Structure 1
Amino acid sequence: MWDQILALWVGVENFVLSLAQPGWRLYQVLIILGIALVAWGLHRVSSTAMNSWVRAREGWTPWQLRGLVQVRRRLGLIWFSLMSWTLFAVMQQVTWPSRSYLIGLAATLATAWIAIALASALVRNRFLRRLVKWVLWIYVTLFYLGISGQIAAFLDGLALSIGSFHLSVLDVLLAIAVIGVLFTGARILSGAASASIKKNEDISPSMQVLAVKVLQLILYTGAFFIGLRAIGIDLTGLAVLSGAIGVGLGFGLQKVVSNLVSGVIILLDKSIKPGDVISLGDTFGWIQTLGARYASVVTRDGKEYLIPNEDLITGQVVNWSHSNDFVRLDIYFGTSYGDDPHKVRALAIEAAKSVERVLTYRAPVCHIVGFGDSSVDYILRFWIRDPTAGLTNIRGNVYLALWDAFQANGISIPFPQREVRMLNERDAAALGD
């Protein structure tokens, strides 16, 4: 192993020493440096012009804009590649091929680096994207320099061997690169399949979420194991280890597993689905998304609560839109004893009907519910079918309509009153005795 590294070092040393002597090898290195300097200047100029052009684009999709950003970042390499290939083609025609070999090698490496940078942008995870990009950059560079075999043998020698199990640094690097590529393909496939599933109106929203989650689990799990098998790692040796890890995770992650199972149950029984209006304790809001571990509930004031799926299974949840969108609301009010209750009931019903969101084909009703200390107490019941538009605001509008109707018809709304008696001196003395 060390003999290969020593031979590689000697080759690099001989190449560097050859540059000290005048000749076409030195001239090619100087030409490459000159092209790099010109490409850097063109990058500065063209990057500014491209920024102004991109800002003027309207209606472009996010992926198109991200693609332009990736191209702008690599403008220097693109200019270097174009000029290098042009000069290489010219020199191949006018002089000996050996006098342009290094220029062609530089052009090839620049083109490969550009392709890897643009392709790795498809990987969403920032750490994984950079890791895959640098691994591929290093591999391509070593491959075209003709020293990939020596480096691969060296990295394969840095290994952990236990019985038949063999894991080297080379295996780890290849696994990262292959799994990164497969994960990117899995993400693209799952994104396309998810868009197709969500467009199918015959599938309920909850089943759409379940189908997307199952598809993602299958694709990503398959990509992981296929990647390990593709580089020759024997998975049977990991069976016992994975079993022990599974037992430990089972005890340590009981809540997580419970939430995962509860999420699957919710999606299967369709008790809660995205868009439903629910109440859980003091939380009232709309189901925005159903995740594998929690449900996202957005309230009227913009707060987003992440409620564990287990709470939705074990707790008492009020789903305002489970089987249908009809919701009955009750409001209470009182009028004085001097007002005709028949007239009060008729005015209350008409006032409720005048509010825009109150359903008229499910007519409001008003009943006397008691005789209070200072008022006759009523309940007004009405129906709506759009709870997602809010409940407090519709109650407020009905109360306002009642106020206007009572003011127009002379109906008074009493309030508690207290009588204060002023005692004279004789009454005060008698009270003291």
Structure 2
Amino acid sequence: MNPHPPDQQPPLELLQAMLQDLLHWGDFYLQILTREWNLYQLLIAAGLFALAHVIAAGVRPRFHDWLRGRDGWPRWRLRVLIIVHRRMRMIVYVVLLWLVVLAMREWTWPSRSYVLAIIAQLATAWLFVTFATRLIGNALLRSLVRYGAWTWVTLEILGLTDETQTLLDGIAVSLGEVRLSAWLLVQAIVLVAALIALARFLSVTSAERIRRNAEISPSMQVLAVKILQVVLYGAAFFLGLRLVGVDLTGLAVLSGAIGVGLGFGLQKVVSNLVSGVIILLDKSIKPGDVISLGETFGWINSLGARYVSITTRDGKEYLIPNEDLITGQVVNWSHSNDFVRLDIYFGTAYGDDPHLVRRVAIEAAKGVTRVLHDRPPVCHIVGFGDSSVDYILRFWISDPTGGLTNIRGNVYLALWDAFRENGISIPFPQREVRVLNEGFGTGDLPGE
């Protein structure tokens, strides 16, 4: 039984045939390029490149100085001008090539400008691809699309697309009823990359509009952006595979087996993903909230799919897994509102009037910035200690992101100054040391 259909050659024979065709085309192009007028055209192209380099070197500094004065222009326009500044030599080279090609077609035979026309077409296509791929934000994806587009336009202009397609289509493997060839893989990579780039552009644009909508809560904004990204990227991936002719139903069993394996191996990751969705849905925390988790105190910088970014007062950024926020005890200082009550403890001597101490403490706390006056401080006696009367001073703030330790320190300092002005003393434990048997000499000490 023949393993290959009658209309399909084995991959090895097809590869040998394609190599022979490529060698034939190589000899053909080499013969064309070694002709006298074609050599002249190559020399003209090289001379135009050198001239474009000189012109660009003279124009680029002036263009840069002019560009620095365009502060009020939109950002997209400035980005385009920056690309023009960076590709100045290529732009000048393309313009010079087409001017020479048009002039030679006007004054001499078209065959004497054939090579120059191909070079001009290649340079124009490469320049267009460079400008078009700048819209892709991801550097890896941008490079992939750019080099793939450069390869495709080069083969298209040189007329080698059919031969290349036949060669790549002959290199294939079969998985059941699914046939995967190199040509199909190339098509899938190009289409999926282009669709993902489009999905990224749409998701970024839509996310900016969602974040500007003040009627949507911050947690729901994050959830909407995440759902939008999953839908757009998933649609781009599956649509790209469908466009190149991949039968997704044939991969259902394989993808199911892979999914089961990944489910067992990525339990923590899946748990964090589900916990992140729960956090966004129940609105327990949101960007900007001040929370405490164990020894970590700070405000939420962003909500990720796997973790929550918390920035502390000392500039450290902690990445807390979403599962810890679901299963652990979290103190949200600004869950329903931004009001936070702080307590500080102090003591005064028994000889000080407790009514005066309370009034002075309350007035001192009111004089500290960040302490709220519409929720006035209160001071209470909480006990009689060994050497002092113990008090608690409670006050409210509305900006916990400004820190808690610093406001406590400012209130303590205000109490110190107020107590000194009013003659209120802060006792501290005192110890007396008595030396017994003072009449004994050194030699009379016990044990000697």
- TM (norm. structure 1) is 0.94
Give, in angstroms, the shift of residue 69 of structure 1. 4.0
1:41-190 equivalences in 2 (<5 Å): 41-55=54-68, 58=71, 64=77, 66-190=79-203
Post-superposition shift, 1:412?
0.5
Residues 349, 366 of structure 1: 8 Å contact kept:
yes
Once the two structures are overlaid, the 10-residue window that deviates more, 7-16 or 75-84, is 7-16
Q: Which amino acid letter does the alignment assign opposite residue 104 of structure 2?
A: M
Name the counterpart of 2:381.
368
Judge conservation of contact 2:362–2:377 (CA < 8 Å) in 1: yes
Q: Which moved more, 1:73-82 or 1:239-248?
A: 73-82
1:8 maps to 2:22: yes
Q: Partners in 2 of 1:86 and 1:67 — Cα distance?
A: 24
Q: Does 1:20 align with 2:30?
A: no
Q: Summarize the alignment of residues 215-254 of structure 1 with structure 2, pairs less than 5 Å apart.
A: 215-254=228-267
Q: Aligned AA for 2:275?
A: S
Structure 2 CA distance for aligned equivalents of residues 201 and 119 of structure 1: 34
SS of corresponding position for 1:272? coil
One-letter code aligned to 1:348: A
What amino acid is aligned across from residue 26 of structure 1 in structure 2?
Answer: L
Residue from 300, 306, 310 that aligns with 2:319? 306
Q: How far apart are 1:51 and its partner, in Å?
A: 4.4
1:392 paired with 2:405, answer: yes
Q: Which amino acid aligns with 2:200?
A: R
| Whole-angstrom distance in 2 between the partners of 1:60 and 1:286 | 35
Alignment-derived partner of residue 346 in structure 1: 359
Q: How far did residue 415 of structure 1 move?
A: 1.1
Deviation per CA, 1:163-211, whole angstroms, max 9, x where unpaired? 3211111222221111111111111111111111111111100000000
The separation in 1 between residues aligned to 2:275 and 2:255, in whole angstroms, is: 24
The 2-side partners of 1:426 and 1:27 are apart by 123
- Does the aligned pair in 1 maintain the 2:141–2:197 contact within 8 Å? no
Tell me the distance in 2 between the aligned counterparts of 1:169 and 1:401.
77
Question: Distance in 1 between the 2:376 and 2:46 partners?
Answer: 85
Query: What is the CA–CA distance in structure 1 between the aligned matches of 2:422 and 2:374, rounded to whole Å?
Result: 26
Point out the more displaced range, 321-330 or 91-100.
91-100
Cα distance in structure 1, aligned partners of 2:52 and 2:332: 63
Quick one: which of 294, 305, 311 aligns to 2:307? Answer: 294
The answer on whether the counterparts of 1:325 and 1:385 sit within 8 Å (CA) in structure 2 is yes
Which residue is equivalent to 1:322? 335
Q: Shift of residue 344 of structure 1?
A: 0.5
Which position in structure 2 is the counterpart of 1:203?
A: 216
Deviations 1:247-301 (A, max 9, x none): 0110010000000000000000000000000000011100010000000100111
Identify if the C-alpha distance between structure 1 residues 432 and 374 changes in structure 2 by more than 3 Å, giving closer, same or farther: farther
**Structure 1 counterpart SS, 2:284:** coil
Assess, with a 3 A threshold, how the Cα gap between structure 1 residues 314 and 176 changes in structure 2: closer, same or farther: same
In the superposition, relative to structure 1, how do residues 425 and 356 fare at CA in structure 2: closer, same or farther (>3 Å)? closer
**Structure 2 CA distance for partners of 1:409 and 1:4, relative to 1, 3 Å:** same
Measured at CA, do residues 63 and 291 of structure 1 come closer, stay the same or move farther in structure 2, by a change above 3 Å?
Answer: farther
Residue 29 (structure 1) aligned to one of 38, 42, 45: 42
Bigger mean CA offset, 310-319 vs 347-356 = 347-356
The answer to whether residue 429 in structure 2 is matched with residue 403 in structure 1 is no
Q: 1:362 to 1:162 in 2, by over 3 A?
A: closer
- Does residue 1:377 correspond to 2:374, yes or no? no
Aligned ranges 1:252-267 → 2 under 5 Å: 252-267=265-280
Q: Distance in 2 between the 1:18 and 1:101 partners?
A: 10
- Relative distance call for 1:402 and 1:270 in structure 2 (3 A) is same
Equivalent residue in structure 1 for 2:51, among 26, 38, 43: 38
Change over 3 Å in CA distance of 1:304–1:99 after alignment to 2: same
Letter in 2 for 1:11: W
C-alpha contact 1:123 1:180 (8 A) present in aligned 2: no
**TM-score, with length taken from structure 2:** 0.91
Across the aligned residues of Structure 1 and Structure 2, the Cα RMSD in angstroms comes to: 2.2
Q: Kindly indicate whether the alpha-carbon contact (under 8 Å) linking 1:5 and 1:150 is maintained by their aligned counterparts in 2.
A: no
Show CA shifts across 1:216-268 (max 9, x none): 10000100111111111111121111101100110010000000000000000
| Partner secondary structure for residue 152 of structure 1 | helix
Q: Distance in 2 between matches of 1:286 and 1:139?
A: 50
1:422 Cα deviation (Å)? 2.4
| Number of matched pairs | 432
Question: Alignment partner of 2:310: what SS?
Answer: strand
1:275 aligns with 2:280: no
Q: Distance in 2 between matches of 1:305 and 1:134?
A: 38
For the residues of structure 1 that align with 2:85 and 2:187, how far apart are their CA atoms? 29
Moved more, 252-261 or 24-33: 24-33
Q: In the aligned structure 2, how far is the partner of 1:84 from the partner of 1:66?
A: 26
Could you tell me which residue of structure 1 aligns to residue 437 of structure 2? 424
Task: For 2:168, give the aligned amino acid.
Answer: L
C-alpha displacement at 1:431, in angstroms? 11
| Aligned-pair CA distance for 1:87 | 1.4
Aligned-residue offset at 1:341: 0.8
Identity rate, percent = 61
Deviation sequence 1:14-35 (CA, Å, 0-9, x none) = 331343342x333222222221
